[in-house]
Chains A and B, each alone.
Chain A
Amino acid sequence: MAEIRVQNLRKAFGEFVAVQDSNFVVEDGEFFVMLGPSGCGKTTTLRMIAGLELPTGGKILLGGEDVTMRRARERDIAFVFQLFALYPHMNVRKNIGFPLLAQGMPSAEIRTRVEETAKLLRIDHLLDKSVSGLAGGDRQRVALGRAIVRRPKCFLMDEPLGTLDTEFRDLMVHELRELHNRIHATTVYVTHDQMEAMSMADKIAVMNHGVIEQFGRPREIYDRPATMFVADFIGSPSMNFLRFGGGLAKGAKEIVVQGAKVTVPEVREDIPPADMALGIRPEHIRFDDTSKLRGAIYGTEYLGTTQIVAVETADGIIKARVPAGIHLAPGEQVGLALSSARLSLFEKGSGRAVRTAMHDQAVEARHG
């Protein structure tokens, strides 16, 4: 296993820039997820690490070795494709053994290795079946088997659960993570599904328009989104934004939104007057009639233990996640109280998050 280091990686297809200046490090044994909407450049980045695309600029280091321009077959990596790419003219055993055959391994050894791998994935009873008759989850396991059988430097996975139905997908998320915990393979996993990313990743890179918007641990990305895009993309329902104007001074602890004063984490930088946004996660909203920030109930969505309540404010709909026991009638006027310590501030123009006391905690958390 090895560490993957990506430096100033760039890929352009003619005029279109798919990936610009990407930098990240996947440490040895880490489960790294690249997350983003379709067309954000995450698959292109993955294919460049694999050697299926050559970058326009930048470097890729695999275990300290520069492999940027090396052929795919010389990189010693394994790739799991979205459509699995299981060879329909071979049975399960031959599919899993196919990479070993390329290395010229004696057939007796291939046999043992394939059987070991199949046992690990609990598909040893399927070895002599044709791949075309397999269920989605089993196809996925065979594809994984073909990847791990070689014991490569790292695994690359391109939306491997994208075609499975929900039931299988939840199962495979669990299995993949469990497998990772057992073999500790450096893994780069591409997905557009934030639930998959959050539940599996050690680290996440959120990409948009070829740019990595944020790189960090799942909790960090959820709690302290670096940009409005990340804040909006992660979380369901996504973060609410309330507009407010004027600049911010270093040390400020209060802002005014829709005529109501809102306490926020202490601001750590000076921001000249501009359009700003206050970011609030739905679970950080409580109903409190004494609050000046007001709105009318628009609708509710019952989820069992909680409910999502849409509240119409002067600045559009805001969604709150509150306990399911609270009864609310549409049209009812409510006051909104916000959990001050958990609020994010953004510059609307650049979408960048403003540095606040919340980020101090991040630094502390990292060192502590």
Chain B
Amino acid sequence: MSLTTAHSVVAPSANSKRIAGAIVVGYALISIVPLLWIFATSFKTPPDSIAYPPKIVFQPSLEGYCNLFTTRTRQTPEYINALGPATGLCDATVRKRNMVIAGPSNFLPRFVNSLIIAFGSTFCAVFLGTLSAYGFSRFKVPLADDLLFFILSTRFMPPIAVAIPIYLMYRELGLSDTALGMILLYTAVNVSLAVWLLKGFIDEIPREYEEAAMIDGYTRLQAFWRTVLPQATTGIAATAIFCLIFAWNEYAFAALLTSGTAQTAPPFIPTIIGEGGQDWPAVAAGTTIFLVPILVFTILLRKQLLRGITFGAVRK
């Protein structure tokens, strides 16, 4: 719509645009500084990372990444000199500190655990959430309101409040330190969010679409698959991101319930110990790599996410 008046009443003025822009940029800076600091630290050497005053300009090094992926042992210079030439960049880096690579660290398996558990639980939560949201939206479910309230009420308390019962239960059921156990737990927490978010989206899709498809010869499930689902992709993407971020970042339960085979990255990263204390560049390197999947996923789905979080703000 084009307005012919010289001064529009609804369009923001240049001044208010500038102020809004400044606020957004300021906020972005504040939130991005810690991330940039972590990113920078991951390329520092251990002495640089704890230097005082902090070093803004430094000689970049991959030592943090080398330390993240390997375990090392200290050797005498004679032993190291007796070895052949360094086999790679990391080998060369650690030799400068009188160490040799003893083997791979646990970071990669922990990272893979995180991927399996986070994406697995996100898939389950969104799958169950979509189906139940569709059910609540389209069918006369007895006590629907109470059920929806009950589902929401599982989010009223901090999840960690039930840590002890869950810990005991998981031990009894043999779910402690298993990927399945973590997937079930994160799914249970996320499914309530998924049902509520998705119900809103599905309510917005007129039921005429399925009715038309059902009259045209499709079963309800086919109609749901071919007409409702394609139109709910925005909502599903937004829900998936929220679920994934929660499951990916969850620390407390992961620290409590996983210790070995099923341990995820969040409880693992802070335990990276270097010689004589925390190996900060390795921790920062782990954190940096840990951020990548979420970043990629969010960038891929950012259009849907934007629509998802502003959803319902303006109704047609």
Chain A: residues with CB nearer than 8 A to chain B?
A: 50-52, 71-73, 75, 77-79, 81-83, 85, 87-89, 98-99, 102-103, 146, 150
A102-B216 in contact (CB<8A): yes
Q: Which 6 A-B pairs have the closest CB atoms?
A: A102-B217, A99-B216, A85-B208, A85-B212, A89-B230, A81-B208
Q: A99-B217, A102-B216, A150-B216 are in contact. Are A85 and B211 (CB under 8 A)?
A: yes
A83 touching B215 by the CB < 8 A rule? no
Chain B residues with CB below 8 A from A52, complex form: 211, 214-215
Instruction: Tell which of B209, B217, B227 touches A73, judged by Cβ atoms closer than 8 Å.
Output: B217
- Residues from chain A with a CB closer than 8 A to the CB of B218 are 73, 102
Is A77 in contact with B215, judged by CB distance below 8 angstroms? Answer: yes
Given the contacts A73-B218, A73-B219, A89-B230, A98 and B213 also touching, CB distance less than 8 Å = yes
15 contacts between A and B (CB under 8 A): A51-B215, A71-B214, A72-B214, A73-B216, A73-B217, A73-B219, A79-B211, A79-B212, A81-B211, A82-B208, A83-B206, A85-B206, A85-B212, A89-B231, A98-B216
Cα distance A79–B213 when bound, in Å? Answer: 10
Pairwise interchain contact A72-B231, C-beta atoms closer than 8 A: no
CB distance from A75 to the nearest CB of B (A): 8
Shortest beta-carbon distance, B144 to chain A, in Å?
16
CB <8 Å contact, B214 and A73: yes
Give B188-199 as 1s and 0s: 1 = Cβ < 8 Å from A's Cβ atoms: 000000000000
* B213 cross-chain contacts in A, Cβ below 8 A: 98, 102
Q: How far is the CA of A99 from the CA of B230 in the complex (A)?
A: 17
CB neighbours of A50 from chain B (8 A): 211, 215
| Residue from A50, A75, A81, A83 having most chain B Cβ neighbours under 10 A | A81
Chain B residues with CB below 8 A from A81, complex form: 208, 211-212
Residues in A with CB closer than 8 Å to B230 are 87, 89
CA distance A81 to B219 in the complex (A): 19
CA distance A175 to B291 in the complex (A): 60
The interface residues of chain B lying within 8 Å CB-to-CB of A73 are 214-219
CB distance from A349 to the nearest CB of B (A): 39
Chain A residues lying within 8 Å of B219, measured Cβ to Cβ, are: 73
For residue A102, which residues in chain B have a CB less than 8 angstroms away from its CB? Answer: 213, 216-218, 222
A358 to B207, CA, bound (A): 47
Chain A residues with CB below 8 A from B231, complex form:
87-89
Residues of B within 8 A of A75 (CB): 215
Q: How far does the alpha carbon of A88 sit from the alpha carbon of B229 in the complex, in Å?
A: 12
Question: Bound state CA distance, A85 and B213, in angstroms?
Answer: 9
Q: For B222, list chain A residues within 8 Å (CB).
A: 102
